Structure 1
Amino acid sequence: MTPIQLKLQNFYTSLSDEALNELSEIYSPDIEFVDPVDSHKGLAQLTTYFSRLLSHCHTCKFDFHGYDNCGQKLFIRWTMYYAHPKLKNAHPLSLDGISELHIRDERVYYQRDYYDMGAMLYEHIPVVGAIIRWLKRRLSQ
């Protein structure tokens, strides 16, 4: 495991407000972080994003299932475990995803996360979730 892989794994498996101090060791000052919700440019925006995420979730941690290196690119398969007070009465939920990271000088300067927003959010909202589950059943027939 490379040093940056180890830093990423340590950060995301114990994600907390205290861990936010480690962001500058993992991400470059000009980081571009993109996920299905939004994009964040620069370390200050990324820190704000993680701070908000952690203030709204009861829990949020990741398990990494594998790494694929391709030159200065790293792909990580992961599962996020989270509990949010407005989703399923704060019951624990999980979400699988993949991250594409571009590395320069042992820091990430670009990260794009790929995951299913429906599985993360929409399916857990009472009325919307029922409609999405119905649509999925219809499409799978």
Structure 2
Amino acid sequence: MTPSPTASTDPRVAGLAAAYEGLTPASLPALLALYAETARFKDPFNEVHGRAAIARVFEHMFETLHEARFVVTVAVCQVDHAFLTWDFHCRRQPTVEALVIRGASHLVFDGDGRVAVHRDYWDAAEELYAKLPVLGALARWAQRRLRAPGG
């Protein structure tokens, strides 16, 4: 039997994937406990250092978005490096159509098994800006202008 693509035999990665999939404002402290006190976090909008600063990034996410949740699609680990791919589901407003942002995270574990470095990769232009009414039209125009012939 082939394991699920989200399955990881590394308990650090499995625990982290489960924490992200179950992330709520109430469970945020449990997720942060998996991070080193001096962890670094970077995504297209934030670059912060320390568990408290990482907490503020996620608190802001929950304050500004509705029904925010992660679905981990692949979780792999090699020694102290892990790679997760994920779908982030959210709504900008409760009555607005849900967005799905697809991305990936590169994680580096420290000697205690906690996340020391977390770097998210996702295309803000394709995954976010193109889905917004005014910016979307501009993003699609720019994409057409920059696309290679036949692409």
Give the TM-score normalised by structure 1. Answer: 0.89
Quick one: which amino acid aligns to residue 38 of structure 1?
Answer: N
| Cα distance in 2, alignment partners of residues 97 and 90 from structure 1 | 22
8 Å CA contact 1:23, 1:47 repeated in 2: no
Deviations 1:100-127 (A, max 9, x none): 0000112101010000101332112222
Instruction: Map residues 1-141 of structure 1 onto 2, 5 A cutoff.
Output: 1-85=9-93, 90-104=96-110, 105-138=112-145, 139=147, 141=149
Shift of 1:140: 5.2
| Cα distance in 2, alignment partners of residues 67 and 132 from structure 1 | 31
- What are structure 1's unaligned runs of at least 5 residues? none
Identical columns (%): 27
Shift of 1:135: 2.4
**Which of 1 and 2 has greater Rg?**
2
8 Å CA contact 2:82, 2:108 repeated in 1: yes
Shift of 1:78: 1.2
8 Å CA contact 2:72, 2:86 repeated in 1: yes
| Cα distance in 1, alignment partners of residues 44 and 125 from structure 2 | 10
- What are structure 2's unaligned runs of at least 5 residues? 1-8
Quick one: which amino acid aligns to residue 103 of structure 2?
Answer: G
| Cα distance in 1, alignment partners of residues 132 and 143 from structure 2 | 15
Give the TM-score normalised by structure 2. Answer: 0.83
